[in-house]
Structure 1
Amino acid sequence: MDGAWVGTWRPHRPRGPIAAQFTSPGPKYSIPGTTGYLAHSPIKTKAPVCIFRGDKHPMAENCSPGPRYYVQPSITRTGKYEAPAQYICGRPNVKMTKITPGPSDYSTDKASKHVYKCSPSPSMGFRHKAVAANQTPGPNVYTVPKVVGPNTAYTHASPCYSMKWKSKHNGFAEDLSKTPGPAAFPRVELEVYKKRAPEYTMGTKSRIRGDSVKPGPADYSVGKVTLIRPQAPAPTFGLRHSVYTTNLITA
């Protein structure tokens, strides 16, 4: 062990470096600034940089003619603007190759149905030869279903009332002496209009299928009904030890 005693203990060598044993350079390092764009602090955001410079020097040779040319008002940024105009000149010479129809050759009377709305106007004419062999029924063969009355095909019928003659039953001319009496009708059973009472049929005993002997009522013990009835606790007195335990043998 190296070193002298300090009081009651002796200093020993440290296991690792201690920061207090080393000297620092002191406050000779400065924090980077937050203004400007040179040596800016990397942990701060930079603001937009605007540079102001002087006027640009004039060129040695001027390539622009200056405002000595007059620009027409019709010149726009997309090109020259011209208003629509019609030229007045003579008719051009057209080589006549064929005779074209004039206005009188056209019929303008039938043009109204193409321009204006009009009701359908079928034309009456002769039957075509191609349809002559087709023996189809004409319009007079079919009948239009009626819409009046109870038996309508596709419309709702309103209530209909029919007039008929007066019935002779219960009339003033009916002879009541010819009606049947109470004895003419059969007796109506009571079960028809009231609740029927239970009925029992007495017959012979049916034959039991099979040749096996079945137990009778005397073969059952009705006293031990512990399956469906509650039972009081019934302790049993017996040996507590096992029956296989060897008895004590004394000499």
Structure 2
Amino acid sequence: MANTEAWVGTWRPHKPRGPIAALYGSPGPKYALPGLTGTSKHDPTKYKAPMFSLGTRHDTGRSDCSPGPKYLIPSNITREGRDGTPAFSLHSRPKQPGLFQTPGPGKYSPEQSGKSIFRTAPAFSLSGRSKDCASDKTPGPASYSLPPVLGPKTVGTTAAPTYSLCGRSKNGSFQEDLKETPGPAAYKVVNTCIYQKKPPQYSMIGRNFTPGEFTRTPGPGTHHPEQVTITRTKPPSFSFGVRHSQYVAPLIVDVTE
């Protein structure tokens, strides 16, 4: 059946053989999604399963490749193994081994070994100085001044009490006139009670009148040296009390008026 459609230039409209993008309002079949099989153009968003390949087919073996009578069996081999006949052979003389040079300690580089067995510490490297750093004028270590740690004017540490000795001035000192130097009597003796144990002290009051014949002075029996316990140990003393009872009735005497 002849086509009755008119020619459009050198092309005449006809019915398409398959679906084309112009027949759809959505971009459906316009985009070709990547495949999910094989390794070529696989979808990167999908999981790729393990792949196996088949090797090439080898050449067909020849008909005479069987190891039948091709191999020559030695005469000393039986069905139970060697027959046990002693055999001797002469080998060639081995070559003289050369001088073996063992590596020194500097030949090994354990820091360059792999990290498959032991853990390694983090390593850092210093890169080369760039050309832009040549114009930077950074201060050196000597440009910084740390605060003092000795003396009373410390900043970050606790300052202990400090003492200083001033120089001796010659003006108005004893070096101008040695006669003005103090003698031995100018120094006072320090009382020993200040830095040692203070002993007991006693004092006697002065008498206000002149004693006469009728002045009452204490006799020998007035003193009791056995009662002195300040400078010596006191001996044990015993006394006898009065025998009485708290249940005895008091004595009542009739008095005539």
Using the size of structure 1 for normalisation, the TM-score is 0.21
